[in-house]
Amino acid sequence: MHVALSYGKYVEFETLREQAIALRRAGLSLRQIRDELQIRNKETLQLLVEGEPPPEWTKRPRAKDDLREKARELRQQGWTYNRIQAELGCSKSSVSLWVRDLSSPERPRPTDTSAARRGAQRAVENRTMAQEALTAQACAEIGPMTPREFFLVGVGLYWSEGAKAKPGSNRRVIFVNSDPDMIRVFVSWLDLLGVEPERRRFSVAIHESADVPAAEAFWADQVGIEVDDLLKTSLKKHNPKTNRTNVGDTYHGCLRVAVLKSADLHRRVEGWWKGIAAGTVTRLR
């Protein structure tokens, strides 16, 4: 499948996937496949080798394995998805994936003997479980995306969350977000567009009262770079009178992704969005 994108380049996704699968079956690790095919983003690598098991020699304990085991343990103790997410600091979609084969745990009986209170608690639990099941089902409905679908998703993502050009200011592609999933999708989208890694600059913005080194390590891991590759972190002054809710181990601040020499790319994104909007208006008429 060939999809024409920026600067007249063609994304030969299927050919690249065939090469990645062949290397995987030959016993190469993701790092070796990354170096061989010059693919620098973890999400893109995972998409290319999707469905292919890793070689036995690469299997070793990882941080996510520990999180998965802990999530399963908590689920068997009767914890809800929301409680597990808050406890482990991971996404609810990951929790759903890790524990979906487990049967719904038996809920502990409420200590209150009031029938009305027990009924209300049961209703809340049932509603929460139904909402979580709906979210998990919707997640599974997406499935693998084609390069063109992913391209259009990226256009909409940037135009809703990315920096816009103000009158008289220089155009530049800049994307800032606190959601790791959105950051990873945006970086993968840059890969799809052929934006070279050396044109990308990353920096963290966070409250000065937070664990800054931990946040820097967290974001560097999300985008596959070393902490030393980050630009200087921007610290926000802490106001002790402000009742902040973004605190604790799950708070990592925001990551700023800037693309150098991106004025033309910014104009293209604007044009792509106008094309999407115009096509929608045409369909509604």
Q: Which residues are CB-contacts of 264 (< 8 A; sequence separation ≥ 6)?
A: none
For the chain, the maximum distance between any two Cα atoms, rounded to a whole number of angstroms, is 70
Provide the pLDDT for residue 90.
81
Alpha-carbon distance of 185 to 199, in angstroms, equals: 17
Distance of CA 219 to the CA centre of its chain: 11
Contacts 24+ apart (CB under 8 A), 220-227: 222/180, 222/183, 222/184, 222/255, 223/41, 223/183, 223/184, 223/187, 223/255, 223/257, 224/40, 224/41, 224/42
Which one-letter DSSP state was computed for residue 137?
Answer: H
Alpha-carbon distance of 163 to 236, in angstroms, equals: 20
Q: How high is the mean pLDDT of the chain?
A: 83
Alpha-carbon distance of 135 to 28, in angstroms, equals: 35
For the chain, give the number of residues.
285
Strands 200-207 and 234-236: parallel
- Which range scores top for mean pLDDT: 2-6, 83-87, 230-234, 247-251? 230-234
CB 231 within 8 A of CB 201: yes
Alpha-carbon distance of 182 to 186, in angstroms, equals: 6
**Residue in the structure block whose two tokens are 């941080």:** 63
Which one-letter DSSP state was computed for residue 210?
Answer: S
Q: What is the rounded radius of gyration, in angstroms, for the C-alpha atoms of the chain?
A: 22
Looking at residues 109-135, what average pLDDT do you find? 79
More confident residue, 198 or 35: 198
CB 276 within 8 A of CB 155: yes
Each residue's pLDDT tens digit, 142-163:
888 899 999 999 999 999 999 9
Each residue's pLDDT tens digit, 55-77:
766 555 555 678 888 888 888 88
Lowest mean pLDDT among 26-35, 53-62, 243-252: 53-62
The stretches of the chain forming alpha helices (DSSP H) are 13-25, 30-37, 42-48, 63-76, 81-88, 92-99, 115-142, 147-161, 180-193, 212-223, 263-284
Q: Which residues are CB-contacts of 201 (< 8 A; sequence separation ≥ 6)?
A: 231, 257, 258, 259, 260
Q: How far is CA 86 from CA 95, 170, 215, 249, in A?
A: 11, 40, 17, 10
